[in-house]
Amino acid sequence: MVGLPFLLLYLGEIRGQLPDIPTQREDDPQEELYQLLLKLRQEEIFDTLLVYGKECAFHSLSRRLEVPMVMVSSGSTEFDWGYSTLTLILSCGPEEEKEANYRNRVKLQKNRRLIYLPEDIQPDSVCNNYSLKEQYNVAMVREDFKKTRVIYACRFLSHPNLVEKHLMTSDPIFIENFQNMHQKPIKAIADLVAPRSMVCVIAKSGEKQLKGYVGNLITNFAQKVNATLQYETLNNKVSFLDIIRRVSEDELDIGISLEALNVNKDLDTASYPFLLTNYCLMLPVSAKLPINRVYAIIVHHLVLVIILVLFIVLSILLIYSQKRSWKNLNVANILLNDVAIRGLLGQAFPFPANAGKHLRIIFCILCFASIMMTTMYNAYLQSYFTNPPTEHEIRTFKDIGKYHQKIALPKFEMTSLITTNNSQFAEINKRELLIIDGWKDYLNLRDSLNLSYGYLVTEDRWSVYAEQQKLFKKPIFYFAKDLCFSRQLFMSIPLRRHLPYRHLFEEHMMRQQEFGMVSYWKSHSFFDMVRLGITPIKDLSPPKVFEASLLLQDISWILKLYFAAMMISIFCFLFEILYAGQRRVINDVR
């Protein structure tokens, strides 16, 4: 008896947590429709009802379902549909849905539809009409549904295309029609831009097979949904923009290509973003610095100032330490101190016999400085002789005009950069641009790795060039990450607007990315291109001229400095002779 109140409270709490189980009411004429909607909700949850048409049996069921209902009596919505995609569409007749809002037709294309049919309309004709609008999740009930409890469901890709389901059966009413397309064709076109799409001919059968990370993606999708991939290829006279045009005009289902998504681009004719990449310049590696200029760059201005200050300080200390007096301290003795100059250059110099402790310490500092300085510059000199640095490096877009670096780009790309008002492109001097009309001609020029020009390239395409240059004696191009026209550029696959299996394709695309298949295909792109004969295995870098020894022009700067120093020495010598002669004359006069 003590535990009875607690037991009752516990049972009451459990009862409050259980959902209300609807009870069937035999006297209700709409009870079967209500049970049907409950069955549909169990198959796939919906949180909104969209009812087309005037008053019919569907309107009075909203209160019992306790689900928000949007009633469109005119058959078309004037607003842009912003509700959840978990929406069940109910039509009071086969002609009641007259949706004129294009955006809503796209959003509600794959939603489930339940049609209330009059007795004089055949269900198969309704299926045909909805298939023309590419709306495939369709089921129907007749006015005598209370008696028959029969549901007519459309099956568009199988035979027969209309099946009858009983209300009490456990089979689902709606199915995913495109899980098995029964060898129906998928119309596509490939741009044949390596490495994203390439054609491989099987030797035994002569059958053409698509390769590349985009080609493999779409080929695997066609195999997954049991479809036939019917594709054609672009010729040299047609740009890949023709793929986007034909997809937007509903001539093709899928474009085996990639297009960039800008701010103003919607996703009506493009898939969910497939790649995230950078769009930058690929520039030729600058020429090596001539040997005769190596001697100038190994001496940094700041280091030279430090050496000069150290020389003056050591000269002053030597002058003072020798006689412990400032009498001999003058400009000539400081700047022309023989011991300090020879000591810093690592040469022998006279050492006093009775040098004091202070003078010995100064000599030690002088010797240590000479060892450090000569060792450092010898190391610099030998390193630069072995591998001279580049003559110049382009760091900004303005440097392109400064160093007269030519940039090749296709005409449509220049038009796109101007249209989008790209600020980086505006900094380039237009005289340094080579505009190529043919899209394929530009790709051929870029693939030839012509060192006369720089090129526009995406980061994923550059990875293939980087792999190719590993076969060269030295790399000839580099990816300028600081010179990008667009960072974090989203690339998508062109898709037809009303593609009914768009959701299946995008799910397949993201799964391939998640499992690492796209990364695997991209990493093997270069080897696929070599195997298909698209990229040759040979060193395209210019041959290095072998020079057995230094030439006279390599030490031209040293000879010039030596000549200038000799002229200064001669001038100083003559000045000393004249100065000594004048003093002798003055002394004789006195």
Residue 368 has pLDDT above 60, yes or no: yes
* pLDDT one-digit tens code per residue, 544-553: 766 656 677 7
Q: What is the mean pLDDT of residues 77-88?
A: 82
Per DSSP, the residues of 513-575 read HHTTHHHHHHHTHHHHHHHTTSS--S--SPPPPP-SS--GGGGHHHHHHHHHHHHHHHHHHHH
**Residues 48, 72: contact at Cβ < 8 Å?**
no
Q: What is the mean pLDDT of residues 423-427?
A: 88
Q: What is the mean pLDDT of residues 16-25?
A: 45
Residue type, 122: Q
Q: What is the mean pLDDT of residues 339-361?
A: 80
CA 448 from centroid of its chain's CA atoms: 23
| 467-475: long-range pairs with CB below 8 Å, 24+ | 467/525, 467/526, 468/526, 468/535, 469/541, 471/537, 471/538, 471/539, 472/539, 472/540, 472/541, 473/539, 473/541, 473/544, 474/285, 474/541, 474/544, 475/285, 475/541
pLDDT band at 511 (very low <50, low <70, confident <90, very high): very high
Phi, psi of 524 (to 5 degrees): -100, 10
The answer to whether the 178-273+493-535 and 275-287+390-492 domains have the same CATH topology is yes
User: Residue 169 carries which DSSP code?
Assistant: -
Residue 234 has pLDDT above 70, yes or no: yes
Residue 26 has pLDDT above 60, yes or no: no
- What is d(CA 399, CA 99) in angstroms, rounded to the nearest whole number? 56
Of 28-32, 82-86, 221-225, least confident by mean pLDDT is: 28-32
Computed over every residue of the chain, the mean pLDDT equals 85
Copy the structure tokens of residue 182.
């029964």
Note the pTM of the prediction, 2 decimals.
Answer: 0.77
pLDDT of residue 24: 47
The domains of the chain are located at: 30-175, 178-273+493-535, 275-287+390-492, 292-380
Q: What is the mean pLDDT of residues 4-24?
A: 48
Q: What is the mean pLDDT of residues 269-296?
A: 87
Q: What is the mean pLDDT of residues 159-175?
A: 88
Residue 6 has pLDDT above 60, yes or no: no
Indicate the angle between helix axes 502-514 and 213-224, nearest 10 degrees.
Answer: 120
Of 253-257, 295-299, 365-369, least confident by mean pLDDT is: 295-299
Residue 2 has pLDDT above 80, yes or no: no
Q: What is the mean pLDDT of residues 75-103?
A: 86
pLDDT band at 17 (very low <50, low <70, confident <90, very high): very low
pLDDT band at 515 (very low <50, low <70, confident <90, very high): very high
Domain 178-273+493-535 classified CATH 3.20.20.220? no
Q: What is the mean pLDDT of residues 566-581?
A: 86
Copy the structure tokens of residue 120.
């004089």
Residue 10 has pLDDT above 70, yes or no: no
CATH number for domain 30-175, candidates 1.10.3470, 3.40.50, 3.30.750, 3.30.70: 3.40.50
pLDDT of residue 205: 76
CATH number, span 275-287+390-492: 3.40.190
346: left (phi over 0), alpha (psi -120 to 50) or beta: left
Residue 253 has pLDDT above 60, yes or no: yes
